[in-house]
């Protein structure tokens, strides 16, 4: 199974070909079914994953470590201040040294450029565990979860409400890469930036994906099969909280909005959620919500990615 993906690293979803994405989804399904049968193949026997975190995490931190253990490997949690990453040692030197010890690196970093530099000098695969621009493993999990719930991805409309977060950016890239129907709805000031839209446009020209950006909530919710939202502000944006609350208030996902979506619509959120802000309790805890299945699938998707990148 070693190096079955065409790319050494997964820094953005643009690094993956459509065949890679299909392989990840098919392998995820196999490993998830195997897990529920009580079968955990030792595909990562004696393999090690270095996990660098510059920011806090629940899902990424725990699911990657559990993924390694379930497949027979081991993960090292490397906290800020615990290793010399750009402090006392260049990022390139850290990458060179870690490459001599571990089989892969997963990193959650403040700046995407730091991740790119880490990957440039690493001999082993580097997986993005979230940066200021992208969260590709989350988007892969989300779209895998959509396929699990609906089957044919080309037959669903996905509508994202709120801010162009790293998750929204990654969903835009992945959905356009797969030729899907995706609407981003939020105040124009917070729309996705050129860096992301360049990737999206490149993908649209290849796949004919139906990608829309709009401020019109009625247009976005009409016929939506998947309603998705994310935090209105993240670490480092706290000083903008009041301004952002005002800007995004109309775009809150509440039961009134969900009732305007397709009758079989589901609600998704990458979590953590700020209840009462971007989503109300009755939606996240209600019948529309598949957020816990989505969170669980992080584990199975990560096992697939790790097995395909470094598995035996
Ligand atoms: N969705 C996600 O990445 O969650 P964590 O921040 O808890 O890792």
* Segment 262-277 mean pLDDT: 98
* Segment 262-273 mean pLDDT: 98
Residues in the chain: 312
Is there a shared CATH topology between the 18-135+295-310 domain and the 138-292 domain? Answer: yes
Contact (CB, 8 A) for 141 and 160: no
- Mutate which of 134, 142, 231, 271 for ligand 1? The one with the most ligand atoms within 8 Å of its CB, which is 271
pLDDT range class, residue 82, cuts 50, 70, 90: confident
Contact (CB, 8 A) for 134 and 119: no
* pLDDT at 88 (0 to 100): 85
pLDDT range class, residue 79, cuts 50, 70, 90: confident
Contact (CB, 8 A) for 33 and 41: no
What are the residue numbers of the active site? 108, 135, 138, 230, 270, 298
Residue nearest to atom 2 of ligand 1 (CA): 59
* Segment 202-228 mean pLDDT: 98
Q: Tokens standing for 235?
A: 């670490």
Count of CA atoms in the C-beta half-sphere (13 A) of 249: 6
Q: Residue 297 above 90 pLDDT? A: yes
**Which CATH number among 3.40.190.100, 3.40.640.10, 3.40.50.1370, 1.10.20.10 corresponds to the domain 138-292?**
3.40.50.1370
Q: Tokens standing for 285?
A: 């805890």
* pLDDT at 80 (0 to 100): 74
Contact (CB, 8 A) for 286 and 6: no
Residue nearest to atom 3 of ligand 1 (CA): 60
Each domain of the chain, given as residue ranges in start order, spans 18-135+295-310, 138-292
The CATH class, in words, for 18-135+295-310 is alpha beta
Q: Residue 3 above 90 pLDDT? A: no
Alpha-carbon distance of 40 to 43, in angstroms, equals 8
User: What residues form the annotated binding site?
Assistant: 57-60, 108, 135-138, 166, 230, 270-271, 298
Alpha-carbon distance of 311 to 304, in angstroms, equals 9
* pLDDT at 83 (0 to 100): 84
pLDDT range class, residue 105, cuts 50, 70, 90: very high
Residue nearest to atom 6 of ligand 1 (CA): 57
Quote the mean pLDDT of the chain. Answer: 96
Ligand 1 centroid from CA 205, angstroms = 32
On whether the pTM is more than 0.85, the answer is yes
Question: Does the Cβ of 295 fall within 6 Å of ligand 1?
Answer: no
Alpha-carbon distance of 56 to 36, in angstroms, equals 30
pLDDT range class, residue 1, cuts 50, 70, 90: low
Ligand 1 centroid from CA 140, angstroms = 14
Question: Does the Cβ of 231 fall within 6 Å of ligand 1?
Answer: no
Give phi and psi for 158, each to the nearest 5.
-105, 125
* pLDDT at 84 (0 to 100): 83
């Amino acid at each position: 199974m070693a190096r079955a993906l065409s790319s050494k690293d997964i820094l953005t979803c643009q690094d993956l070909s459509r065949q890679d994405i299909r392989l990840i989804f098919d392998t995820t399904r196999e490993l998830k079914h195997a897990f529920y049968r009580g079968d955990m193949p030792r595909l990562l026997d004696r393999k090690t994953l270095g996990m660098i975190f510059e920011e806090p995490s629940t899902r990424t931190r725990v699911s990657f470590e559990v993924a390694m253990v379930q497949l027979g490997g081991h993960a090292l949690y490397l906290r800020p201040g615990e290793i010399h990453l750009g402090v006392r040692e260049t990022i390139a030197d850290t990458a060179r040294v870690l490459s001599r010890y571990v089989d892969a690196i997963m990193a959650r970093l403040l700046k995407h450029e730091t991740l790119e530099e880490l990957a440039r000098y690493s001999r082993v695969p580097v997986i993005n565990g979230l940066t200021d621009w992208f969260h590709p493993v989350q988007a892969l999990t989300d779209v895998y979860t959509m396929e699990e719930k609906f089957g044919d991805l080309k037959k669903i409309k996905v509508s994202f409400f709120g801010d162009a977060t790293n998750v929204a950016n990654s969903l835009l890239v992945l959905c356009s890469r797969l030729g899907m129907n995706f609407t981003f709805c939020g105040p124009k000031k917070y729309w996705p930036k050129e860096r992301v839209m360049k990737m999206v446009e490149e993908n649209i020209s290849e796949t004919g994906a139906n990608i829309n950006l709009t401020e019109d909530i009625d247009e976005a919710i009409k016929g939506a099969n998947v309603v998705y939202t994310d935090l209105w502000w993240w670490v480092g944006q706290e000083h903008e909280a009041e301004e952002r609350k005002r800007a995004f208030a109309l775009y809150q996902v509440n039961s009134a909005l969900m009732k305007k979506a397709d009758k079989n619509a589901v609600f998704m959120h990458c979590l953590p959620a700020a209840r009462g802000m971007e989503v109300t309790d009755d939606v996240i805890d209600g019948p529309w919500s598949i957020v816990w299945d989505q969170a669980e699938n992080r584990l199975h998707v990560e096992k697939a990615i790790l097995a395909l990148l470094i598995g035996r």
